[in-house]
A and B are shown apart, each in its own frame.
Chain A
Amino acid sequence: MTGYVLRRLLQLLPVLLLASIGIWAMIFAVPGGPVGMILGENATPDQVAAMTAQLGLDRPVVVQYWSWLTSALAGDLGVSIHSRQTVLSLIAERLPATIQLGLASIAVGLLIGVPVAVISALSPGSWLDRTLSGWSALALGVPTFWLGILLILLFAVYLQWLPSASGYVPIWQSPLDMLRNVVLPALTLGVYVSGIFARFLRASLVAELRADYVRTARSKGLAERDVVGRHVLRNALLPFVTIVGLMLANFIGGTVVTEAVFTYPGLGRLLVQAISTRDYPLIQGCILVILVIYVFVSVMVDVVYAYIDPRIEYS
């Protein structure tokens, strides 16, 4: 088991390495390079030379990358140009908000998506199925930022039940306040993932319902409830676990747009701010952290899948 996890992590090493090179090299692609970025366009050649030496840019490229990587691995992601705080502290401050929103959104998605999929798969082609499939199409097609605006209009502007801008309240501080703040963004993202969940789960349920073993199960006199509950769902939920996990991994960094709609203080907004202020150390740090989390969560998903599917052996 441990060996399997390690092997999966090792397999991702080349991807992480390549991506980290990309992130590190980003700064050199910026017009003016790292020096111009700090000194501005009107620097004298002497100033440039001094800064180049100060930043260690006169060292060989490999050495530069290596020192960047080792300090990043040690947690030193540099200092934000804009706020002068360390990049790590800025990220650490925002990460819990993003994770809370991501989990809440997945929960909403499951609450809507799973029943929709099961109901429509059990009567394929019926009006109910067509209606629910229409829901999935709508959930996937409506851009989250527009849906968010509509929800703000309804619940904040007209009904005035909820705030139009959402802050971060940890659930252990005040569950009710947390709910007031998170419900609109979580609903926005939840509707979207419910479309993904419903469409995927319905397709795999329909495929499993056609499988031969379903006929076998019926032929031994199992009630339809047990045929679906014990046989079909079990098979269909296996690949579904992967999808849920991947969406979770995505939401660590992918709530950017929703955070912008609700001015929610998450990692995504930090990144947007960093880009608009051209705060490159912060940009690099955010992307690196999001990448590492994403990769790590995808490995965990694989591990969970291998654990629950009897056909996969770890060795």
Chain B
Amino acid sequence: MSGAATRALGMAKRLFRNKGALAGFAFIATVTLLAAFAGFLPFDPLAQNIVESLEGPSAAHWFGTDELGRDIMVRVVYGARTSLLTAAGAVAIAAAIGIPMGLVAGFFGGWRDAVLMRLVDVLLALPGILFAMALIAVIGRSQMAALVAVGVHGIPGFARITRAQVLSLRKRDFVTAVEALGASSTYSMFRTVLPNSWSPILVQVVVLSSVAILLEAALAFLGVGIPPPTPSWGEMLRTGKSYLYEAPYYAVLPGLVLTLTILSLDTIGRALSVVLEDRQMIGGDTKLERVP
């Protein structure tokens, strides 16, 4: 598979020629590293100090302190951990269910397609946040509930994108070609169709990561997400909103980190789709030499 490795490397090079994508990647990498190693730093996100409550940014507390005197920056770093873990789990759930659904629906068509796509329609019949809220209303408020709610919301995206890609590939001659060679459906599906489907799926992973982070924060902001005292960006915005007059930085700074995270993922996602589409275009999919 050195061929695949070379291709991935070439793609990464082209991706990071886009300065926005490079900056976005750097930001995400920093946040991820901080979140991963937060436990090794000598700061406690739960340490209260009522005397120092609602103090503005200073050398000791870069982002200031909250109503219980907790360091907001430390809580933002721990909030990143909540956010990223929820997003990763949600994307994993969505991909694990959505991709096989789309693959089966697109490859076999017929009744399987009809049944699976009706299921997707049902999931799509409610705006994402409402669906997540309804789910949480049933299973109660917990980190796992938020993760599942956001993950289920992502299933239709993966299913549809995979299905669309599989459908367009099925009509292509090189897929018909392996059938003409005598390949089984399994071979055609897993060795020919699926390996050619990764580009849009990969883009969807990045896109859904940003959607998941946003949705998790929104749920917390509404007070139905991960319950306190676990630090979470949405929860901080929710509380911070009550102190807009006394401590505007309280809501603004965590929101800024959240916004930058989403913007970074969005930029990477768009740059990635450009690079991947470009690669396919070089593959010369549809261009005929017939027209000289």
Q: Do chains A and B touch in the complex (CB under 8 A)?
A: yes
Binary contact readout A251-292 vs B (1 if CB under 8 angstroms, 0 otherwise): 001101100110000000001101110101001000100110
- A4 contacts the other chain (CB 8 A): no
From B133, B266, B267, contact of A275 by CB (8 A): B133
- A157 contacts the other chain (CB 8 A): yes
Given contacts A143-B255, A153-B252, A272-B224, contact A294 B244 (CB under 8 A): no
Main secondary structure of the interface of A (DSSP, over half): helix
- A14 contacts the other chain (CB 8 A): yes
List chain B residues, Cβ under 8 A from A153.
244, 248, 252
- Are A271's CB and B130's CB within 8 A? yes
Given contacts A153-B248, A257-B218, A272-B222, contact A287 B134 (CB under 8 A): yes
- Are B223's CB and A276's CB within 8 A? yes
Given contacts A272-B223, A276-B224, contact A141 B266 (CB under 8 A): yes
- Are B129's CB and A275's CB within 8 A? no
- Give the interface segment out of B53-61, B118-126, B165-173: B118-126
- Are B126's CB and A290's CB within 8 A? yes
The count of residues in chain B whose C-beta lies closer than 8 Å to any C-beta of chain A is 42
- Are B125's CB and A150's CB within 8 A? no
- Are B130's CB and A254's CB within 8 A? yes
- Are B259's CB and A146's CB within 8 A? yes
B89: min CB distance to chain A, Å: 20
Residue of A nearest to B255 (CB): A146
- A140 contacts the other chain (CB 8 A): yes
The count of residues in chain A whose C-beta lies closer than 8 Å to any C-beta of chain B is 45
- Are B259's CB and A143's CB within 8 A? yes
List chain B residues, Cβ under 8 A from A145.
217-218, 221, 234, 237, 255
- B258 contacts the other chain (CB 8 A): yes
- B251 contacts the other chain (CB 8 A): yes
List chain B residues, Cβ under 8 A from A143.
214, 217-218, 255, 258-259, 262
From B125, B129, B245, contact of A19 by CB (8 A): B125
Which A15-69 residues have C-beta < 8 A from chain B?
15-16, 18-19, 22-23, 26, 29-31
B84: min CB distance to chain A, Å: 16
- A138 contacts the other chain (CB 8 A): yes
- B85 contacts the other chain (CB 8 A): no
- A204 contacts the other chain (CB 8 A): no
A12: min CB distance to chain B, Å: 8
Give CA–CA (A250, B251) in the complex, Å: 27
Given contacts A137-B263, A149-B255, contact A272 B133 (CB under 8 A): yes
List chain B residues, Cβ under 8 A from A26.
134, 137-138
List chain B residues, Cβ under 8 A from A295.
125
From B126, B129, B133, B210, contact of A294 by CB (8 A): B126
- Are A141's CB and B126's CB within 8 A? no
- Are B121's CB and A15's CB within 8 A? yes
A29: min CB distance to chain B, Å: 5
B262: min CB distance to chain A, Å: 5
- Are A275's CB and B122's CB within 8 A? no
- Given A145-B234, A272-B224, 7 other A-B contacts at CB below 8 A? A15-B118, A29-B138, A141-B210, A141-B266, A142-B259, A145-B218, A256-B130
Give 24 A-B contacts (CB < 8 Å), ordered by A residue: A15-B118, A23-B134, A29-B138, A29-B139, A30-B138, A141-B210, A141-B262, A141-B263, A143-B217, A145-B217, A145-B221, A145-B234, A149-B237, A152-B244, A254-B129, A257-B218, A272-B223, A275-B137, A276-B224, A283-B137, A287-B130, A290-B126, A294-B127, A295-B125
Binding site for A on B (CB under 8 A): 118-119, 121-122, 125-127, 129-130, 133-134, 136-140, 210, 214, 217-218, 221-224, 234, 237, 240-241, 244-245, 248, 251-252, 255-256, 258-259, 262-263, 266-267, 270
